[in-house]
Amino acid sequence: MSLTARIDEDIKAAMKAKAADKLGALRMLKSSLKYAVIEKGAANEAALADADVITVIRKRIKQCQDAIEGFVQGGRAEQAEKEKAEVVLLESYLPAALSADELSGFVREAIAEVGATGKAQMGAVMKIVMVKAAGRADGKAVNAEVLKQLG
């Protein structure tokens, strides 16, 4: 089952269960997916590959995390908790994250593949690692590991 089909099924289940918070989060995700379809110029959401859906989910998670920071700074703990619950829900759609050792291995392989010797080749290494990681690693984590290994 594709991710978009799974999200559709979860929306139906949330409607039947009358889970308002879950339904709201899933509808926001669905809206973000529709914008991605428009940007891509596709006919419908079925045209989105799971990798595209994962990218949209990661963007949504980043938006929620930014909102959490704002709510915490603004003293709105209740709203921050709602956003945290949404992050947990969205993360359930992502593939299992890479362990630190797996990520480190991918970075070593990419450095060897590119023949990188310093930070000047960081972009090429990052590009290869992000493809190999296929949505299972956060860009910040990859960036930190590449910087660490390139010195």
As a whole number, the mean pLDDT across the chain is 88
The pTM is what? 0.75
Q: What is the DSSP letter of 136?
A: S
Residue from 89, 129, 69, 84 nearest 6 by CA: 89
DSSP 2-68: -HHHHHHHHHHHHHHHT-HHHHHHHHHHHHHHHHHHHHHT-SSGGGS-HHHHHHHHHHHHHHHHHHH
Region 71-83 average pLDDT: 93
Is residue 122 within 8 A of residue 142, CB to CB? The reply is no
**pLDDT digit string, tens, across residues 2-20:** 888 899 999 999 999 999 9
**pLDDT digit string, tens, across residues 47-75:** 778 888 888 998 999 999 999 999 999 99
Domain 3-91 sits in which CATH superfamily?
A: Uncharacterised protein YqeY/AIM41, N-terminal domain (1.10.1510.10)
Note the CATH architecture for domain 100-150: Orthogonal Bundle (1.10)
**pLDDT digit string, tens, across residues 16-45:** 999 999 999 999 999 999 998 888 887 777
| Residue spans per domain, the chain | 3-91, 100-150
What pLDDT is attached to residue 61? 92
